[in-house]
Each structure stands twice: as structure tokens, then as C-alpha cells.
Amino acid sequence: MEHMDKRTLSRMIDAAMHRIPADLVIYNCNIVDVYTGTIRKDSIAITDGHIVGFGDDYRGQEEYDAKGAYASPGLIDAHIHIESSYTSPEEFGRMVVPCGTTTVIADPHEIVNVYGLEGFNYMIRAAEKTELSVRYMIPSCVPATPLEDSGAIVNAFDMQWPMGDRHVPGLGEFMNYPGVYNKEEEALNKILVALNMNKVIDGHSPGLTGAELNAYSAAGIKTDHECSTIKEMEERLQRGMYVQMRDGSACHDLQYLIPAITPFNYKRCLLCSDDRQPKTIFEDGHIDNHLRMLVKACIDPVMAICMASLNTAECYKLEDRGGLAPGKRADIVLFNNLEEFRAQAVFIEGHKVAENGVYLRSYEKAAIFSVRGSMHVRPFTVDQLKMHLTSDRVKAIELVKDGVTTKEAIVTVRRDEDGDFIFDPAQPVVKIAVLERHHNTGKIGLGFLKDYGIQRGAVALSVAHDSHNIICVGVSNEEMYAAVQALIDQEGGFVLVENGEVIASLPLPIAGLMSDLPGEEVAKYLKNLHETAYERLGVSHEVEPVMTLCFMSLLVIPDLKITTGGLFDVRKFDFVPPEAD
């Protein structure tokens, strides 16, 4: 609950009692009541940013005719990384608020992996510039595992002060699940910081089952957004966890989980996007699109809205929002109907902040000087990208459609006289490299990627979850070298090269993760990147050419990944040689 002073409390009571006019009355609306599961026609009286009553007899200093629209609680994204929109928090808010989103539970572990708590502080400063209510979790895994080369380390001691902030709901997704069931000391210390402050701990446990899942849940992990099957979803619900049903730009799990929703378990179901690019937001929307998907699949619309509002508020102990009732924040969305879910108007704390898809508030951006200039790469030569294979049979990271999990494929490749990989256009295998970019260590990991489809040139990016080193794929060492050098020169982001020349790019000067441009400009750059990757470089249309690569270095997602240390088998939780023999 936000701080309340006596003057505000007194005014709210007087307005509720009709002693003074309300600040705003929204009349002629159909109220979606997530507490009773019903819809009723009524008016909403608002004073000092809070709902004070219902009834057509209220009068306000300002009155708004909803014209029969459906008044819903403001939508809440239960788990998102704002950095993965490639825009700053101010721009992200400007994009999603017109969709009806009024609150997000954000985990800024992308920028914290680059800049530590200075990155966290920047995100807080930037969020103050948007009408969107951003509640930041404290990142739990910086780095995601002890086996990575990140820009910073945040331990349990570092977490204590920011965790005590009443605006911080808890500890971000605990990706190091082996650290939990193996009782690693630092993992337990971090969990205890959150538990002893009565804070929520988010989970991240793809494929975890049996005793390991029991231990993970017993340790106090409350949520999971990595359920990709109904079996995984049911196992977590049976253990009292909340399931964050995800539909983002890269992962589309919601569609597969909808059949498991019942009138009994829906209260433990939340909606989240995890990662959502501007292109996806402008074309499909945000949490409003989740609602469209649910209703199209015959889920009751009030139940769907409850999953998008009240359930998340209750999970994260946001007692001042999540439903429309006296005393709650006046975060209200007026939808045209409960099928299209087009937001005709959006109110946050009683102020109209968006109408018919347009963000109405002016804003300025927070300074970014403390989080730019993040490319610290030791000078290297093209020869350092050569491999010295001892066998033609190698392990390759095999892509899985519509997800970030991968498989291990055994493939036969061509080698030159020194054992280096020779690209063959007839085979769907390409070299992949990860270069350390935080501390000038010069570490380079080399491996293979299957089914990405690139036929010409190279792609390099500084967005590589979660340590965000440079990741690059290409048809030759020379093309890869050119792409990485161009990436360094533009302060990070994305680069596509062909014949050694840059043919498309998107600079991301904020920590090598976010642009300082408007969301519309970022979307245009991304569209050009995608089209160029498909048309000029021959990347497979079955993959998203940018975000797919972003996840190839994430060591906590099965089965095979790559980092600065080389190829990593997530099942064995250890590095493995590229050769299969």
C-alpha cells in the first residue's frame, strides 16, 4: 500500500459520503468485477487517485462518459525484462500504457548483469519519467551462474539495502536452480534475504521435476514463467506455485497452456510477456493480446481479466490495485468490448493517460551517461576465431521452433588442414562465437549452431542473455570479425554484415541493451534488420533472427548453449568439447 496521509484519507471519505464532489466520475460504464465474477452497469467516483465509490448519484469536478465501455482494472504484466524491448523504461511505458497496461513487475537483470546496481538505479530513475507503474524485482542471478563472465556480481550482502525498499516486491527469477537443490551457500543466502523480509521470490526452472522441483518450491520459490507444457504447469500448481503464462516475442507458451486452465486453478495463473519487442507491441499489443487469446479459446472474459490484474496484484502483495473497489488505486481501462479488448481510454491514479491508442502525457528521459560506453573488448585478430577440431563429427546447438530451449545435434562438418570449420551452404550448420565484452579479458568461446539458416555474411549482437557478452554467427571468420568490430564501434546493439560491409544495424548505447530512440524508430530498425537478415543473408524464416541468437548463451535453458568458456551442456551443467567423438 502506498503511503497515505490524513488529508487524503479525509477527502476520500468526504467524497464517498457525497460531502464534496469527486475529482472524477466515470459514468455509463460496464464494470468488470473481478471480486464477484460479474459485470454490472454503474458509475465510478474517483478522488485523489483512488476509487471512492460506485453509483450514478455521484458528481465530479470532471465527468467522463464511457459510452457503455467495459471498465476493467488496469492490466499487470507479471514478469518482464524492459531491456528486452530494446527501449528505455520511458519509451516502454509510452508503448504499453495505451494497450491498457498500468503496472509491470520488471526484472532488470539484463542491465544489472552489465552495470551492477548502478544499472538498477538508472532503471529506477528512468521509470519515474513514465506514467506506467514499474515495480522492480532485485535480480537474483548476477551472473546467472558462477560459470559466466558478466559485467558485475551482485551477492546477498549487496541485495539487503535495495530489498528493504517497500516498492521492491522481491527477488527476481532464480535461474540457478541447481544452486538451490545443491544448497550452494550464496544461493541460500540470497533466498534468506528475501524470505526474512517477507518478499516474493520468482522462479525459473524449465524441465525441473521430481525431488528437485520439490526442493525448489520448499525453498520459497513462488512463481515460474518457464512452463512450456501442461505437465510442467500442473506440477507447479500442485506445489502451490503461481504459473506465469507467457506470450512474448520469442516464447509463445500461453497458447499451449490454456487448455489446462480450470475454474479451480485460474486464481494461480498470471499473464506475462517476459520479452516483448516494439514490433510485437505495435502489431499485437501487450497483455491485452493475452486477453484476446484467452477469450478466443473460450476462457470466460472476467476470468481472463482476473488473471491479468487481481491475481498478479495478490501474488506480489500489491494491495492497492488489481480490482475496482473503494480504496483501490484508480487504475482503470475502458475496453470497447470483451473480445477485441481495444483500450478506448486508460486511467492511472485517476488521470487519463491514454486514449484510442495514443499516450497523452509529455515526458523527459533520464540521463544515460552512467550506463553507456559498455563495450570493453580486448583487441583480437581474425585468427582467434579459428577452431582446431580433431574430428569431423561435432556437437551443434539445434534450434527449437517458438522457444528458447535447444537440443544437441551431432553433425558432420568439413575441416581445413588446420582443423578449422569450413562453411558448407548445403548444410544447416554455422560457426557461433561468444566474446567477453565487460573486462577486456579476451575470452572467446567457439561452437556450432544448427538450423539458423544463414548463407552469407555474419550477425553480431551485444544482447546475449544473461551476461550480455558479444554473440556472433557467420559463414567465415573474416565476416564474423568485421561484424564484431562494427558492433564495438557503434557501442553495442545489432549488426549485419555482408562482404565485410555493414548492411543493417541498430545501435544500443544504453548498456549495449537499449536504444535512446523512440519506440517507433526502434521498430523500424528492427523491421529492417529482420528483412535484411532473411533477404540478404538467407537466415531461415522459421527463426526470429535477432532474439533467437540472444538466448544461445543462456546457460540455464536446456539443452546445449555457448558462452565465453565454450560449449555448455545444461543437463550435465558443465562445459563440453565441440567434438562428438
Q: Nearest 5°: phi and psi at 276?
A: -145, 115
More confident residue, 400 or 479: 479
Cα separation of 252 and 234, whole Å? Answer: 18
Q: Which residues contact 10 (CB under 8 A, 6 or more apart)?
A: none
Q: Which residues pair with 495 in a beta bridge?
A: 460, 505
Cα separation of 68 and 379, whole Å? Answer: 64
pLDDT single digits (tens) 74-109: 999 999 999 999 999 999 999 999 999 999 999 999
All three cell numbers of 54:
460506485
Residues 402 and 275 in one domain: no
At 402 the pLDDT is 67
What three-state secondary structure class fits 157? helix
Last residue of a domain, one of 319, 334, 361: 319
**Burial class of residue 101, CB neighbours in 10 A (0-12, 13-18, 19+):** buried
Cα separation of 100 and 353, whole Å? Answer: 10
Residues 414 and 294 in one domain: no
All three cell numbers of 417:
588442414
Residue 327 region by backbone torsions, left for phi larger than 0, else alpha for psi between -120 and 50, else beta: left
At 98 the pLDDT is 98
**What does pLDDT average to over the chain?**
96
Of 4, 95, 182, the C-alpha closest to 13 is 4
All three cell numbers of 86:
530494446
Residues 306 and 383 in one domain: no
For CA atoms 246, 205, 569, 420, give the dihedral sign. positive
At 581 the pLDDT is 75
Is residue 349 one of the residues assigned to a domain?
Answer: no
Residues 400 and 494 in one domain: yes
Is residue 59 one of the residues assigned to a domain?
Answer: no
Is residue 498 one of the residues assigned to a domain?
Answer: yes
At 507 the pLDDT is 97
Cα separation of 488 and 356, whole Å? Answer: 41
Residues 436 and 301 in one domain: no
**Burial class of residue 123, CB neighbours in 10 A (0-12, 13-18, 19+):** buried
Residues 173 and 282 in one domain: yes
Residues 164 and 225 in one domain: yes
Q: List Cα–Cα distances, 34 to 132, 204, 210, 301, 335, in angstroms.
A: 22, 28, 34, 10, 15
The domain in which residue 410 lies consists of: 372-575
Last residue of a domain, one of 319, 339, 362: 319
Cα separation of 424 and 440, whole Å? Answer: 33
145 pLDDT more than 80: no
pLDDT single digits (tens) 159-215: 999 999 999 999 999 998 989 999 999 999 999 999 999 999 999 999 999 999 999
Is residue 196 one of the residues assigned to a domain?
Answer: yes
What is the torsion angle, in degrees rounded to the nearest 10, for the CA atoms of residue 129, residue 130, residue 133 and residue 135?
Answer: -50
Residues 204 and 96 in one domain: yes
132 pLDDT more than 80: yes
Is residue 341 one of the residues assigned to a domain?
Answer: no
The reported pTM is 0.94
Local confidence band at 1 (pLDDT 50, 70, 90 cut-offs): low
CATH code for the domain in which residue 216 is found? 3.20.20.140
Q: What angle do CA 571, 577, 579 make, to 5 degrees?
A: 110
Average pLDDT for 440-460: 97
Query: Cell 580433431 appears where?
Result: 390
| Percentage of the chain lying above the pLDDT 90 cut | 91
Q: Percent helix, strand, coil in the chain (nearest 5)? A: 30, 30, 45
Is residue 28 one of the residues assigned to a domain?
Answer: no
Q: Nearest 5°: phi and psi at 413?
A: -120, 170
At 401 the pLDDT is 77
Residues 549 and 436 in one domain: yes
| Percentage of the chain lying above the pLDDT 70 cut | 99
Of 242, 232, 186, 245, the C-alpha closest to 205 is 232
530 pLDDT more than 80: yes
State the total domains in the chain.
Answer: 2
The gap between the terminal CA atoms of the chain, to the nearest Å, is 60
Q: Is-contact 232 207, C-beta < 8 A?
A: yes
547 pLDDT more than 90: no
59 pLDDT more than 90: yes
Residues 383 and 483 in one domain: yes
552 pLDDT more than 70: yes
Cα separation of 151 and 109, whole Å? Answer: 11
pLDDT single digits (tens) 425-440: 999 999 999 999 999 9
pLDDT single digits (tens) 10-32: 999 999 999 999 999 999 999 99
All three cell numbers of 408:
544437441
Is residue 20 one of the residues assigned to a domain?
Answer: no
57-61, 420-424, 463-467, 505-509 — which is least confidently predicted?
463-467
Is residue 324 one of the residues assigned to a domain?
Answer: no
Residues 528 and 390 in one domain: yes
Last residue of a domain, one of 298, 319, 340: 319
At 400 the pLDDT is 87
Q: Nearest 5°: phi and psi at 539?
A: -60, 140
309-323, 481-495, 566-580 — which is least confidently predicted?
566-580
All three cell numbers of 131:
506514467
Query: Cell 521492491 appears where?
Result: 168
Local confidence band at 224 (pLDDT 50, 70, 90 cut-offs): very high
Residues 139 and 241 in one domain: yes
